[in-house]
Amino acid sequence: MKGVICAGGLGSRLYPLTRATNKHLLPVYDQPMIYYPIQTLVNAGIKEIIIVTGGPHAGDFIRVLQDGCEFGINQIFYAYQEKEGGISQAIACAEKYASGEKIAVILGDNCTNADISPDLKSFKSGAKIFLKKVPDPERFGVPVFKAGEIIKIEEKPKKPKSNYAVTGLYLYDQTVFKRIKKLKASKRGELEITDLNNSYLNDGLLDYCYLEGWWRDAGTFETLFEVNQFWAKKRLGRT
């Protein structure tokens, strides 16, 4: 299995911080933000990682990450997303690097201390998503449950039907790229990750679990502050 980190976008919600560099290279305590999703994949046993980036600061990743040797991985690839076309489009940029293997996808602003290695080892086919209870589910894809099963996932609903978020961490089989090619752009002109997950769900091929441990995205000033606090306390031995 190969790892894919989606680290594109302009990071406009974090202006003016992101006028100088890509959002995913902003500091989170003592490391660039991108280090945390890399470490999540490496700790799960992944040795080849594809960084999908874009925008005017894409070249900064090479200066920061270089060939990835310091993380203990065998290879690191870089793919360029030419347009801001959504997470599914970003995943599609990794197709030739995936070389027909299953992929573990994580968004570049997702920070977690969860151990997902058991999930990677047991994953065979279809797709798997990781859910987490959050105070602001309207910012995410939100699962709708019936009799304990997910019947659909709603993208950023104004009135969420649960307080769980689909975290930016996904496992996909080799059919993922064919499925992306069949997606239609949403009203905001993007290929939505929620539509991709629903395609698996509609075929009865979507599995889910509740993510153990701490998780937060760093896509807003408030959550960026939260992840800095968490990792600072962790590094200083205060948790």
8-40, pLDDT tens digit by residue?
887 788 999 999 899 999 999 999 999 999 999
- For residue 155, give every residue at least 6 positions away whose Cβ sits within 8 Å of its Cβ, in sequence order, or none: 141, 186, 192, 194, 195
The Cα–Cα gap between 161 and 154 comes to: 9
Mean pLDDT score, 145-152? 94
DSSP letter for 173, please. Answer: -
DSSP H or E run through 232: helix 221-235
What domains are defined for the chain? 2-235 (3.90.550.10)
* Separation CA 5–CA 51 (nearest Å): 5
Per-residue tokens: 163: 């307080």
What local confidence, expressed as pLDDT, does residue 138 receive?
A: 94
What the block records as the tokens of 224 is: 């960026």
pTM of the model: 0.95
The predicted pLDDT at position 85 comes to 86
Cα separation, 172 vs 160, in Å, equals 25
Q: Is residue 153 within 8 Å of residue 166, measured between CB atoms?
A: yes
